[in-house]
Amino acid sequence: MSFPVKKILKGKIFNFFGGIKPKELKNTSGVAIEELPIPSILCLPLEKHLGKDGVILVNVGEKVKKWQPLTRTNGKLVPLHAPTSGVVSSISNETLPHPSGEKGLCIVIKTDGFDSEYERKPLADFENAETEELIKKIHDNGVEGLGGAQYPTAAKLSSCLQYAKKCNVLIINGCECEPMVTCDDRLMQERALDIVTGIRILKKILNPKITIVAIEKNKPRAIESMKHALYNTDVAQVRELPVIYPTGSARNLIKAVTNLEIPYHEHTSECGIVVNNVGTVLAVKEAVVDGIPQISRVITVDGKSLLRQGNIRVRFGTSVRFILNTFALRPEYKQRVILGGPMMGFTLPSIDVPITKSASALLCPNSDEIPRHKTSSNCIRCGRCARVCPSRLVPYMLYSQSISHNHAACIKAGIKDCTLCGACSYICPSSITLTAQFRYEKAAERHIHEFEIRNAMAKERMKAKEERLLREEEERKKKKEAALERIKAQKEAESKMSPEEIASLRQKNIEEAKKKALAKKEELVRLKNSDANEDSDMVKVKKIKDIRKRAIDIAQHHGHLEDDDSSINVVKILNLDSNYGYIKNDLLPKVLRRGENISKPVPQFEYAVKPEPYVKKDLLVGLEPDDKLVNPV
């Protein structure tokens, strides 16, 4: 089976298995993209921009400019850039955009509103540039996939070049199969020419045999404008795909366009097929031609609970609250705020979270527009879910395995192939929350996997330690024997000598020992110095830790964080007995344990340190953060 280039070029659209046809609800596709004003605070999560030996380049209180890099990374991860100018007000743990509302390390920038710019290096003549240079530019400007997975684009491109030797198909993904979301649609309508430039750059890097722009048929204006921009060029061909959810997911798109089923354990780019979202392509163009880092993205803001709807270009780090204020949220009781599309997004537990690269929409529907879920009833095994699953799974079987905590059976049944597309939950007549269960299952799976790795590593360490101890024991024994021997020999020698001779010999020995000790000490000092000079891993980690600790202190001082009350967590469980098993079976962390401990006896706790009654402290309200306190000169 060589690559079916000719077949693909014919332009046939293939069917992929499954899929659903939900209501489209794309009522913002006619609203032009507007620029959101600069908010007063930007909060930039660091999790995808730091990595193992990443370095934070700025410190609290430092002035930053727009486009200035804030982190330095190694490997695949891309650096973070400041979306606007301002002052770094803290580096602290803030709430992340995550369904559980977890916290993570963020850089918080207090903006100054001047939007003053950092230097940039545009490269208009990309046709004559080296491939490496282009990829480096894309990497340094922090371009990541805007489709949802947030995979670094440069890494994708270079893995294609490295493993597949040459790229066969480059697919520009303009499907946007999620209902309600129209940001890619708008981009194609407004920035078609820039997107074509971006495609040219990608083509220059990859040199693909076929380039396809795939757009679903329900976007006639986008199709027209892309066709217009591509008119009379041989840059790419436009494919109009039928409107089926989830055409936009990479595997299904590849199946629809090339009739190849790439298994989920393979990387598509390593198979010579690169799929890039139109937003990403635009970012590539900006990164290379204009030298602008990726600091903003277009999102759709929709929902009947908002006074107006539209598409906006937001800077990363803008809080959801700011956007909702701009669009005048009129919340209903238990208003749902959905980050992402209505099929794959999630409800936010708090609106004080930043927008990141993976968010494509912000939806505030009311209950008429998107009804709330009904209580689920039993599965009637109707098989609808199996008929719509694009990954060819049998969701109801998977579900029954998953709710009985049979993780091994889940893996065997193919939970790893599940893309969490939500088609099965959509179609289920019994309103069973299949996808939610799978999301949970995947999290549990990941956790168990990590747990196993940790276990294995601990075992290895244990083994190494035992070996070391054994070795040391042996060495000590040898030393002891040698010493005994020496003493014996000395005694024998001494017995033959006169007392003066013995005294002079002792003197000499002492002097020798002194010299030795001095040399050792010097050696130690030298080692220590060299350690500090070299930027070793340990030192870097320590640096980050220090920065973090300091940031937390500052955040506490500013009232961003509650006081650290870790002392309360030190507890002793009183009624723990052998068959109780409260601790023993705790493979899963607390967020993942669900409904498990309903019938278990409630453990009795005794605090090691008695918690003090919580007293609300006066926070520093209304005061400007004083840089002199934070950053003494």
Residue 509 amino acid letter: N
Map 77-123 to HEC letters: CCCCECCCCEEEEEEEEEECCCCCCCEEEEEEEEECCCCCECCCCCC
User: Encoding tokens for residue 480?
Assistant: 């002891």
The minimum distance between CB 387 and ligand SF4, in angstroms, equals: 8
Smallest CA-to-CA distance from 226 within 274, 190, 179, 277 is with 190
CB atoms within 10 A of CB 411: 15
Q: What are the Cα distances from residue 10, in Å, to 213, 219, 238?
A: 14, 22, 12
For tokens 């014919």, what's the residue?
A: 10
The minimum distance between CB 344 and ligand SF4, in angstroms, equals: 9
Contacts of 302 (CB under 8 A, 6+ apart): 25, 27, 28, 180, 181, 182, 309, 361, 362, 363, 364, 365
Is 1 a binding residue for other proteins by CB under 8 A? The answer is: yes
From candidates 604, 608, 609, 631, binder to other proteins by CB under 8 A: 604
User: Encoding tokens for residue 192?
Assistant: 């078609």
Binding span for other proteins by CB under 8 A among 43-51, 280-288, 560-568, 616-624:
560-568
The minimum distance between CB 369 and other proteins, in angstroms, equals: 10
210-216 and 55-56: which strand pairing?
unpaired
Q: State the binding partner of 606 from other proteins, ligand SF4, none, CB within 5 to 8 A by kind.
A: other proteins
Is 599 a binding residue for other proteins by CB under 8 A? The answer is: no
Is 494 a binding residue for other proteins by CB under 8 A? The answer is: no
Binding span for other proteins by CB under 8 A among 36-44, 415-423, 458-466, 518-526:
415-423
Q: Interface with ligand SF4 by CB under 6 A: which residues? A: 379-385, 388-391, 393, 395-396, 418-424, 427-430, 432, 434-435, 438
**Whose Cβ is closer to ligand SF4: residue 417's or residue 553's?**
417
Instruction: Report d(CA 339, CA 320) in Å as an integer.
Output: 9
Is 148 a binding residue for other proteins by CB under 8 A? The answer is: no
117: phi then psi, degrees, rounded to nearest 5: -100, 150
**Whose Cβ is closer to other proteins: residue 294's or residue 309's?**
309
Instruction: Report d(CA 393, CA 417) in Å as an integer.
Output: 8
Whether the CB-CB separation of 169 and 250 falls below 8 Å is answered with no
**Whose Cβ is closer to ligand SF4: residue 21's or residue 515's?**
21
Is 589 a binding residue for other proteins by CB under 8 A? The answer is: no
Contacts of 608 (CB under 8 A, 6+ apart): 567, 570, 571, 572
The vertex-417 CA angle with 414 and 423, nearest 5°, equals 105
Mapped onto helix, strand or coil, the DSSP state of residue 564 is coil
The minimum distance between CB 462 and other proteins, in angstroms, equals: 33
The minimum distance between CB 431 and ligand SF4, in angstroms, equals: 8
605-607 and 571-573: which strand pairing?
antiparallel
Whether the CB-CB separation of 279 and 320 falls below 8 Å is answered with no
Whether the CB-CB separation of 74 and 52 falls below 8 Å is answered with yes
**Whose Cβ is closer to other proteins: residue 359's or residue 393's?**
393
The minimum distance between CB 344 and other proteins, in angstroms, equals: 6
If you compute the radius of gyration of the chain from its CA atoms, what whole number of angstroms results?
31
Q: Which of residues 66-105 bind other proteins (CB under 8 A)?
A: 99
Mapped onto helix, strand or coil, the DSSP state of residue 144 is strand
From candidates 67, 316, 327, 396, binder to other proteins by CB under 8 A: 396
Is 394 a binding residue for other proteins by CB under 8 A? The answer is: yes
CB atoms within 10 A of CB 515: 10
From candidates 51, 104, 414, 559, binder to other proteins by CB under 8 A: 414
Q: State the binding partner of 438 from ligand SF4, other proteins, none, CB within 5 to 8 A by kind.
A: ligand SF4
Would you say how long the chain is, in residues?
633
Q: Which of residues 252-291 bind other proteins (CB under 8 A)?
A: 260-264, 266, 270-272
**Whose Cβ is closer to other proteins: residue 52's or residue 572's?**
572
Instruction: Report d(CA 327, CA 310) in Å as an integer.
Output: 9
Q: State the binding partner of 443 from other proteins, ligand SF4, none, CB within 5 to 8 A by kind.
A: none
**Whose Cβ is closer to other proteins: residue 497's or residue 573's?**
573
Whether the CB-CB separation of 249 and 341 falls below 8 Å is answered with no
Instruction: Report d(CA 460, CA 305) in Å as an integer.
Output: 56
Whether the CB-CB separation of 122 and 137 falls below 8 Å is answered with no
By CB under 8 A, the count of residues binding other proteins is: 83
Q: State the binding partner of 36 from ligand SF4, other proteins, none, CB within 5 to 8 A by kind.
A: none
Is 576 a binding residue for other proteins by CB under 8 A? The answer is: no
Is 345 a binding residue for other proteins by CB under 8 A? The answer is: yes
Give the HSE-up count for residue 86: Cα atoms under 13 Å, Cβ half-sphere: 21
The minimum distance between CB 157 and other proteins, in angstroms, equals: 17
Longest dimension (CA), the chain: 112
Q: State the binding partner of 418 from other proteins, ligand SF4, none, CB within 5 to 8 A by kind.
A: ligand SF4
Is 540 a binding residue for other proteins by CB under 8 A? The answer is: no
Q: State the binding partner of 385 from ligand SF4, other proteins, none, CB within 5 to 8 A by kind.
A: ligand SF4
The minimum distance between CB 341 and ligand SF4, in angstroms, equals: 14
Q: Which of residues 163-192 bind other proteins (CB under 8 A)?
A: 164-165, 179
Q: State the binding partner of 579 from ligand SF4, other proteins, none, CB within 5 to 8 A by kind.
A: none
x/- letters, 195..234, toward other proteins (CB under 8 A)? ----------------------------------------
Instruction: Report d(CA 129, CA 325) in Å as an integer.
Output: 45
Q: Would you give the distance in Å from CA 308 to the centre of its chain?
A: 31
Q: Which of residues 7-46 bind other proteins (CB under 8 A)?
A: 20, 22-23
Q: State the binding partner of 372 from other proteins, ligand SF4, none, CB within 5 to 8 A by kind.
A: other proteins
Q: State the binding partner of 395 from ligand SF4, other proteins, none, CB within 5 to 8 A by kind.
A: ligand SF4
The minimum distance between CB 386 and ligand SF4, in angstroms, equals: 7
From candidates 3, 14, 118, 580, binder to other proteins by CB under 8 A: 3
